[in-house]
């Protein structure tokens, strides 16, 4: 073996993440990041911010067309409306189940450790709460009045509804739509290639994102809310490594160890971007190429999960509710906690998978159980870091449900799932161009031009 072993994309991203933490902490602890300084202006808010923002924008650029073509391809690939309905019902019920379990676990852990008792902190009232949308509006808005507008605004539920309806109609048309279906398959393949190209710069972007966050957050802010942070992180890890893995093993029989080994690439991106939606392209690539899950299932359950499944956010709501209730001396009781569970599950449906959305959802829960919304100001300082961790848990829940549904529908390649090297991606491989395909495409274009 004379060849130098090439690092996988995951390894490169992990290196970028580690360097980002080290550089960010150095900038923070050395005091170089004070407002108006050269480092703050040109490095943290300049270079790091621009590189990270460009990468996130590139991921978001891919989300709508990727979801549209991938989901359309998946619906056409299933080709059976009864199977499509079965997949949708399974995914929905599993997402609701995991969210309800997540917040129940969080409340149990938070009440056991009695976080917030005896604290006397002044709340920052700069956070402006948004009124909870009525459930009727959530349901009505699932059907878009203008699907193009829904796509332009990145509204996932209306986009999913329109795409599924379009796919169902294509299936109903039958053989006459075979050329359209072939075009959709090609478009989906093109979008996946775009994902591959964007991933090439991922290690550098992750370095910039993490370095900026650590330079601004540092370690000292965690001391102020240590109990809250420790309990929240513990609840998130318990749900990720125990609850979700037990659900995966129970309903599918798949290896949790292999699952965690393969999902880590998507978890890193979720942690870096703090956005379930922005991570959709990475999650889709990981579960189809590394886990062997058929696109017909993955293209439906992943964007659907990024929209309605927020296990990590639900855990944050449970821990934060107990924390604020104890600080203000409010006794919620069994009824209050059941209300929190119900509200968190309902609030997760139709709420965008973007950074910071957890605070908006939390204000809805606070309103419902009678807690002062001003209390949210107490956790604002650490919410960005917590948002990064809970997003990684969110997308892990999406992948678990997808694997369970795919296994139940015989849409999972067990050999690929159990192969630790399946889907390994290197930067050089991502930019490879098949010269034979390139020549054939050039001939096709030349032939078309000659005909005209």
170 vs 379: CA distance, rounded Å: 48
* d(C-alpha 375, C-alpha 101), whole Å: 25
Query: What fold is seen in the domain 9-447?
Result: 1.10.3860
DSSP helix/strand/coil, 366: helix
Q: Give yes or no for residue 355 having a pLDDT over 60.
A: no
CA distance 72 to 221: 46
pLDDT in tens, 96-155: 889 888 888 888 888 888 777 665 544 444 444 444 456 677 678 778 899 899 888 877
Q: Which residue has the tokens 């790091």?
A: 48
Distance set, CA 353 to CA 23, 43, 136, 345, 392 (Å): 29, 28, 20, 14, 12
Q: What is the mean pLDDT of residues 203-220?
A: 78
pLDDT band at 428 (very low <50, low <70, confident <90, very high): very low
Q: How many CB atoms lie within 10 A of CB 148?
A: 9
pLDDT, mean over the chain: 78
pLDDT, residue 138, reads 65
Sorted by sequence, the CB contacts under 8 Å of residue 359 that are 6+ apart come out as 127, 376, 380, 383
pLDDT for res 259: 94
CA dist 343 and 364 (Å) reads 8
pLDDT-derived band at 3, boundaries 50, 70, 90: very low
The whole-angstrom separation of Cα 378 and Cα 389 is: 19
CA atoms of 229 and 223, how far apart (whole Å): 9
Burial of 442 (C-beta count, 10 Å sphere; 0-12/13-18/19+)? exposed
Cα(16)–Cα(203) distance, integer angstroms: 5
CA–CA gap between residue 152 and residue 430 (Å, rounded) = 28
Q: Please give the pLDDT value at position 167.
A: 84
Whether residue 256 contacts residue 248, with contact meaning beta carbons closer than 8 Å, is answered with yes
Q: Which of 262, 253, 230, 257 lies closest to 241 in space, CA to CA? A: 257
Q: Residue 247: pLDDT above 90?
A: yes
- Grouping H, G, I as helix, E, B as strand and the rest as coil, residue 412 is strand
The crossing angle, in degrees rounded to 10, of helices 226-238 and 380-408 is 0
Q: How far apart are CA 327 and CA 321, in angstroms?
A: 10
Q: Give the tens place of pLDDT for each residue, 213-227.
A: 778 766 655 555 677
Between 228 and 236, name the one with better pLDDT. 236
Work out the average pLDDT over 415-419. Answer: 90
Residue of 75 and 271 predicted with greater confidence: 271
The tens digit of pLDDT for each residue in 367-392 reads 667 777 666 766 765 666 777 888 88
Percent of the chain with pLDDT over 90: 12
Rg of the chain, C-alpha, whole Å: 23
Whole-number Å distance between alpha carbons of 409 and 411: 5
40-68 pLDDT, tens per residue? 888 888 898 898 888 878 877 887 887 78
* More confident: 132 or 189: 189
Residues paired with 293 in a beta bridge: 412
Residue with structure tokens 């902490």?
25
Q: Report the DSSP beta bridge partners of residue 412.
A: 293
DSSP state of 175: G
258 or 116, higher pLDDT:
258
Query: Does residue 431 sit in helix, strand or coil?
Result: coil
pLDDT average, residue stretch 418-445: 62
């Amino acid at each position: 073996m004379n060849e130098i072993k090439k690092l996988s994309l995951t390894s490169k991203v992990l290196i970028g993440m580690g360097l980002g933490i080290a550089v960010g902490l150095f900038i923070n602890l050395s005091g170089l990041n004070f407002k108006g300084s050269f480092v703050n202006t040109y490095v943290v808010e300049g270079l790091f911010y621009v590189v990270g923002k460009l990468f996130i924008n590139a991921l978001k650029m891919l989300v709508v067309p990727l979801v549209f073509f991938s989901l359309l391809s998946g619906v056409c690939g299933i080709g059976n409306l009864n199977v499509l309905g079965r997949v949708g019902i399974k995914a929905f019920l599993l997402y609701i189940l995991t969210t309800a379990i997540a917040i129940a676990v969080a409340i149990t852990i938070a009440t056991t450790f009695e976080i917030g008792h005896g604290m006397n902190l002044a709340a920052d009232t700069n956070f402006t709460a948004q009124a909870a949308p009525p459930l009727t509006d959530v349901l009505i808005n699932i059907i878009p009045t203008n699907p193009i507008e829904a796509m332009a605004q990145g509204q996932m539920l209306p986009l999913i509804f329109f795409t599924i309806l379009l796919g169902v109609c294509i299936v109903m048309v039958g053989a006459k739509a075979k050329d359209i279906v072939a075009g959709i398959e090609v478009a989906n393949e093109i979008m996946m290639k775009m994902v591959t190209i964007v991933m090439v710069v991922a290690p550098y972007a992750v370095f910039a994102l993490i370095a900026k966050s650590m330079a601004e957050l540092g370690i000292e802010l965690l001391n102020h809310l240590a109990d809250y942070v420790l309990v929240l992180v513990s609840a998130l890890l318990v749900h990720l490594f125990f609850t979700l893995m037990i659900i995966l093993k129970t309903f599918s029989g798949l290896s949790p160890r292999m699952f965690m080994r393969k999902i880590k690439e998507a978890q890193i991106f979720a942690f870096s971007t703090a956005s379930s939606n922005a991570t959709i392209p990475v999650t889709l690539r990981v579960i189809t190429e590394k886990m062997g899950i058929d696109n017909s299932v993955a293209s439906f359950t992943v964007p659907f999960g990024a929209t309605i499944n927020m296990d990590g956010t639900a855990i944050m709501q449970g821990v934060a509710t107990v924390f604020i209730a104890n600080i203000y001396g409010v006794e919620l009781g069994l009824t209050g906690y059941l209300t929190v569970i119900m509200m968190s599950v309902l609030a997760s449906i139709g709420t965008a998978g973007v950074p910071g959305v957890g605070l908006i959802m939390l204000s809805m829960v606070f309103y419902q159980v009678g807690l002062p919304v001003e209390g949210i100001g107490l956790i604002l300082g650490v919410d960005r870091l917590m948002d990064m961790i809970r997003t990684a848990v969110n997308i892990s829940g999406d992948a678990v449900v997808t694997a369970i549904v795919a296994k139940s529908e015989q849409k999972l390649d067990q050999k690929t799932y159990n192969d630790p090297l399946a889907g390994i991606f290197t930067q050089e491989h991502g930019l490879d161009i098949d010269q034979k395909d390139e020549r054939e495409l050039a001939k096709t274009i030349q032939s078309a031009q000659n005909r005209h």
